[in-house]
Amino acid sequence: MRISTGQMFQQSTKSILDKQSATNTILAQITSGKKVNTAGDDPVAAIGIDNLKQKNALVDQYSKNVDYATNHLSISESKIGSAETLISSMREQLLRGANGSLSPVERQMVADEMRASLEELVSIANSQDESGNYMFAGNKTNSQPFAFDINNEIVYSGDSGVRKSVVASGVAIPTNIPGDLAFMNSVNPIGDYGVNYLSPQQGDSAVSSAKITNQATHVSDTYTFNFTPNGTGVDLQVLNSGGGTVTTVTNFDATNPVSFNDIEVKLNGTPAAGDSFTMEPMETVSIFDSFSKALALLETPESTNSPQGKSKLAQLLNDIDSGQNQVSTARGIAGNNLKGLESISTNHSEEKIINSSTLSILEDLDYAEAMTEFEKQQLALNAVSSVFSKVGSLSLFDYI
């Protein structure tokens, strides 16, 4: 087979270019520290590298969401913890102010102290985050959630919205605690009705339970309980809001519950003739309302140690305890979510380590092996170049 001069030059040139390309590829790998710089270097590995980088990018985004949720929940949990501590202090203030040995001036001082604490509690409930959003307003983050109305009662202007952050595939964690959940909707400790004790009360009785027994047939209304003398004891007459008699109990005995219109009412203590109180539907109580009523009680010195005042005080303490339990529950929810975020964050860190380790196996360059290969390619390139130089300089005239 004859080899023409053109074929010889073409083959030699191709060998040089191939060796230069291989040398450049190794040099690019050494420069970047990666053995796969393009899909052409290793198509299979390139697909795996792209998938792992996408997974790591997704994990990074989830981690940012975890940090955001953790930051907001941590602040919320701290604020609710402060509120819980303040509520305990205010309960002690109420008990101190209700002490019969205090003078009116001393009792008013306690009331002033409690009022300042109540304003601080409202301030905590109106806390804002670093962006100026109200933390306990639900989804209405631009509006102040708690404020005093014209009757000096706290009203909630937020909603029950729970904002969530996606922190893992298919996992969304709440990042806020709505204000109504934390401060407004604590369970009525006596059941489904609230009680208003009327003056002048002489007996030491108080309602311990007022629960609906059949919601479907119960008649919701404001009921008045009147105790009247019968010579040997007292009779109980229950009236509806229209003044009609609902039920009458002769020789009332507080050990037996009173049932009417599918509601059961239990009292403790001994009512006196002339005592009276009203009940109206109330499924939940507010910690703010409880302390507002407590302030009103303390600022009415003549009522504090009266039978009526003592009955109110007992009810208020139960309402405050229920409100404090509600605040504690809200803090527990925040704590549980923080614990869940901590676990998820750990999982993301472990996943990132595994992905990065696999990515390193597929992508990272073995420098010792690469340098050896680079030297081999350089030697081969030099050899091919030397041969081409000698062969290219041959001429028939050298042999004539």
Q: Are 291 and 320 in contact (CB under 8 A)?
A: yes
Identity at 187, one-letter amino acid code: V
Summarised one tens digit per residue, pLDDT across range 257-290 is: 999 999 999 999 889 999 999 999 999 999 999 9
Q: How far apart are CA 307 and CA 275, in angstroms?
A: 10
CA distance 250 to 270: 14
- Cα–Cα distance, 83 to 118 (Å, whole number): 10
Q: Give one DSSP letter per residue of 50-114, joined into a string.
A: HHHHHHHHHHHHHHHHHHHHHHHHHHHHHHHHHHHHHHHHHHHHHHHHT-TTS-HHHHHHHHHHH
pTM over 0.75: yes
Which stretch of 45-54, 65-74, 80-89, 141-150 has the lowest confidence by average pLDDT? 45-54
pLDDT at 318: 93
Tens digit of each residue's pLDDT (9 = 90 or more) over 34-43: 655 565 556 7
pLDDT one-digit tens code per residue, 109-131:
989 999 999 999 999 999 998 88
Asked if the peptide bond before residue 281 counts as cis, ω within 30 degrees of 0, the response is no
pLDDT in tens, 187-220: 999 999 999 998 888 888 899 999 999 999 998 9
Strands 164-168 and 258-260: unpaired
- Of 154, 104, 81, 131, give the one whose Cα is nearest residue 298: 104
pLDDT of residue 173: 93
pLDDT at 335 over 70: yes
Across 324-346, b (16+ Cβ under 10 Å) vs e yields: bebbbbbbebbeebbebbeebbe
pLDDT band at residue 153 under the 50/70/90 scheme: confident
Across 154-174, average pLDDT? 91
pLDDT at 45: 63
Query: Running DSSP on this structure, what letter comes out for residue 223?
Result: E
pLDDT one-digit tens code per residue, 15-40? 555 555 555 565 555 555 565 556 55
3-state secondary structure of 140: coil
pLDDT (tens digit per residue) in 339-380: 999 999 999 888 888 887 776 666 655 455 555 655 565 555
Task: Give me the mean pLDDT over the 130-153 stretch.
Answer: 90
